[in-house]
Homo-oligomer: A and B are copies of this chain.
Amino acid sequence: MSRVNGTLFRSRDFGTIERFIEPCILLLLSREPTHGYGLMEGLEKHCGEKVDVGDLYRTLRRMEHDGWVNSAWDRKENQRDKRIYTITEEGRAFLKHAVASLKETDELIHHLFRGYQKVYPESNAI
């Protein structure tokens, strides 16, 4: 627990979406097959803040286990080995589902904004 400007916070930030990294990964892999480390820059743009590297690699292995991505080693001379991930049809299906779910989430958020605006009209919630 910490206190910022008089407001209490618990260890985790508020407002994050569980496993939001997964559709972000799938979208990036929809553009082109990439390895874990290479995904990071793009992910930071999509997911905001910093991406936990350990979380990223574990997520990729889990997504492979779930059948949403495939991986193959890219072994080249004068270059570190890279595990290249490719999106599967199942992965595209999940991404589509995720986008639909996020639309619902988005509606809930805006419902809250509207309610907040009503109760606290001086704020500019919307």
Contact = CB atoms under 8 A, between A and B. Distances in A.
Interface string A3-40: 00111111011111111101110010011000000000
Interface residues of A, number: 55
Chain B CB within 10 A, most for which of A20, A22, A46, A115: A115
A123 interface: yes
Contacts of A72: none
Interface of A: 1, 5-10, 12-20, 22-24, 27, 30-31, 45-48, 66-68, 90, 93-99, 101-106, 108-113, 115-116, 119-120, 123, 125
Query: Nearest 5 CB-CB pairs, A to B?
Result: A15-B101, A7-B93, A15-B105, A30-B119, A14-B101
